[in-house]
Amino acid sequence: MDPSPLAGGAVGAVVLVGSTVYGLWRRRRDGAFRSAGGAELPARSANDDASDDGSALLRALGVEAGIPATLLQFSSAFCAPCRATRRLCGEVSALLDGVRHVEVDAESHLEAVRALEIWCTPTVLVVDAAGRIAGRATGQPTKAQLIAAVAPLLAAPTEEPEVAR
């Protein structure tokens, strides 16, 4: 290819437009909680979770059974938004009874990272009292998003989160 200003300018323009579209998509997606993980990590009832591989995996990461909502945050050394996410999760767990924040270094737990399909940091999983993953968000969530994600678990101490709605 000829290194003409025209080709360089065209490539530059395409890159800037493409990056803007990607950046806007990421801005919309980051921090939004989606329900996920339930299918990959089949959890049974609360009594049965000792024998459940998924729950055992989460307990090995420091999640305690019986806590209504655990914010399980995956961080890494080269992650700028992890610090802010840690502060927000800490604030929410201090603000709301029944919420606990657990932060793990993704690199030190690569097996769990693969099993839980963690691809980027920060990723925050919301784990319920039975050790089920009720939601996940990649990227830095807002405080409002965190509170909204744990609220159904706090409002419904029984098995059915739908009761709260």
Partner 1 sequence: MTPSRSLLDPRGPRFAAAVTAAVLVAVLLTGSGWLALAQAAVFAVASVHPRLNPYALLYRAVIAPRLAPPAELEPVEPVRFAQLAGLAFTLVAAAGYLTGAALLGLVAAALALAAAFLNAAFGLCLGCEAYLVFRRVTGRPMAARVAR
Positions touching partner 1 (CB under 8 A) are 1-5, 7-9, 11-12, 15-16, 18-20, 22-23, 26-27, 75-80, 82-84, 103, 105-107, 110, 113-114, 118-121
Kindly tell me which of 39 and 77 has the beta carbon lying closer to partner 1.
77
The residue behind tokens 């159904």 is: 152
Kindly tell me which of 110 and 144 has the beta carbon lying closer to partner 1.
110
Kindly tell me which of 6 and 39 has the beta carbon lying closer to partner 1.
6
Count of Cβ atoms closer than 10 Å to residue 138 Cβ: 20
Kindly tell me which of 3 and 162 has the beta carbon lying closer to partner 1.
3
Least spacing, CB of residue 8 vs partner 1, in Å: 4
Kindly tell me which of 5 and 45 has the beta carbon lying closer to partner 1.
5
Least spacing, CB of residue 100 vs partner 1, in Å: 18
Least spacing, CB of residue 81 vs partner 1, in Å: 8
Least spacing, CB of residue 130 vs partner 1, in Å: 28
Is 68:153 a contact under the CB 8 Å cutoff?
yes
| Run of H or E including 138 | strand 133-138
DSSP-assigned states of every residue in 51-120: G-HHHHHHHHTTPPTT-SEEEEEEE-SS-SHHHHHHHHHHHHHHHSTTEEEEEEEGGGGHHHHHHTT--S
Least spacing, CB of residue 13 vs partner 1, in Å: 9
Tokens of 162: 């739908």
Instruction: Tell me how far apart the alpha carbons of residues 153 and 149 are, in angstroms, rounded to a whole number.
Output: 8
Q: Is 69 left (phi over 0), alpha (psi -120 to 50) or beta?
A: beta
